[in-house]
């Protein structure tokens, strides 16, 4: 059926699956497990670039910007690809597509991510009383009551002692692409509360998923669940073109 093509005796869908797996793995600095499965029936449809279904299952993913993801699952159907590009180690979509997704972040993922230079740089763009802020030792805790606690030591300008900011909030989605802290309660003295309020307002502007999506994609979240020290996001990924590692994903 595939005479003359370099399939090495393997099924065409397996060849394409391996190529897609390698291309997606290249978008991340490290993954513990990443497997893409492409299915086409009959398999000869692949010659025209027609795929019946595609699924991606991955665990323990570290992005080049330092953000961590515990697990991610993507599922889509009836996608069209440039079959010839596979043999050049590339994945090219012939038309935009949409995938359903499930993304899991652990408490440790959140803490690690908020202490990366990628996120700290964005947080430090906020000024308080016309002074720059310096974040240290940010810790995030997922509580049993479905709330999220954030604690951080924040130095204001060149002040000697950092301010201990401590607040608890719930997460809420807005317009399917924004994550917001709501029902916020603050601990500490008046200065810490005032600083915490400024930070919450800043972070609520920051948590726009379009700022974190891989090149060529848009993420839309329909639901967020919190359980067993994990945040689970359900939604869709709108994929205009296969992502590349660029300055946005590697910053």
Output the CA torsion sign for 22, 25, 31, 33.
Answer: negative
At residue 232, the pLDDT reads 94
Q: Read off the pLDDT of each residue in 45-67 and give the average, rounded to a whole number.
A: 88
- The answer to which of 184-188, 211-215, 233-237 has the lowest mean pLDDT is 211-215
Q: Read off the pLDDT of each residue in 174-185 and give the average, rounded to a whole number.
A: 92
State residue 159 phi and psi, 5-degree precision: -60, 145
Which of 238, 236, 248, 247 is CA-nearest to residue 217? 238
- For residue 79, the cross-strand partners are 51
At residue 38, the pLDDT reads 87
Count helices and strands in the chain by DSSP H and E runs: 5, 11
Q: Residue 4: pLDDT above 90?
A: no
Residue 250 tokens, joined: 């590697």
Q: Read off the pLDDT of each residue in 107-112 and give the average, rounded to a whole number.
A: 93
At residue 1, the pLDDT reads 37
* Greater pLDDT, 44 or 202: 202
pLDDT band per the 50, 70, 90 thresholds, residue 11? low
Q: Read off the pLDDT of each residue in 56-85 and give the average, rounded to a whole number.
A: 89
At residue 103, the pLDDT reads 93
State residue 103 phi and psi, 5-degree precision: -125, 135
Residues of the chain above pLDDT 90, percent? 42
Query: What residue spans define the domains of the chain?
Result: 1-95, 104-251
132-163 per-position pLDDT tens digit: 898 989 999 999 999 999 999 999 988 778 99
At residue 121, the pLDDT reads 87
Token pair 């201990």: residue:
164
pLDDT band per the 50, 70, 90 thresholds, residue 3? very low
Task: Answer for the pair 2, 9: CB distance below 8 angstroms, yes or no.
Answer: no
Residue 77 tokens, joined: 């159907």
Computed over every residue of the chain, the mean pLDDT equals 85
Number of other residues whose CB lies within 10 A of the CB of residue 130:
6
Which of 175, 179, 177, 171 is CA-nearest to residue 237? 177
pLDDT band per the 50, 70, 90 thresholds, residue 246? low
């Amino acid at each position: 059926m595939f005479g003359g093509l370099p399939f090495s005796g393997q099924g065409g869908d397996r060849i394409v699956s391996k190529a897609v797996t390698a291309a997606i793995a290249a978008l991340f600095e490290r993954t513990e497990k990443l497997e893409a499965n492409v299915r086409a029936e009959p398999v000869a449809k692949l010659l025209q670039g027609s795929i019946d279904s595609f699924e991606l299952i991955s665990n323990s993913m570290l992005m080049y910007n330092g953000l961590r993801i515990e697990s991610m699952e993507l599922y889509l159907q009836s996608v069209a690809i440039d079959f010839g590009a596979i043999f050049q180690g590339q994945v090219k979509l012939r038309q935009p597509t949409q995938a359903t997704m499930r993304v899991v972040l652990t408490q440790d993922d959140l803490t690690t991510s908020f202490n990366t230079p990628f996120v700290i740089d964005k947080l430090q763009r906020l000024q308080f009383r016309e002074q720059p802020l310096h974040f240290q030792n940010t810790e995030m805790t997922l509580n049993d009551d479905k709330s999220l606690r954030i604690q951080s030591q924040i130095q204001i300008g060149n002040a000697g002692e950092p301010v201990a900011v401590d607040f608890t909030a719930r997460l809420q989605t807005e317009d399917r692409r924004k994550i917001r802290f709501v029902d916020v309660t603050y601990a500490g003295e008046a200065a810490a509360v005032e600083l915490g309020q400024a930070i919450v307002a800043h972070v609520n502007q920051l948590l726009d998923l379009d700022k974190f999506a891989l090149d060529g994609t848009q993420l839309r979240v329909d639901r967020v669940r919190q359980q067993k020290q994990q945040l689970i996001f359900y939604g869709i990924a709108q994929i205009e073109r296969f992502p590349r590692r660029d300055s946005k994903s590697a910053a």
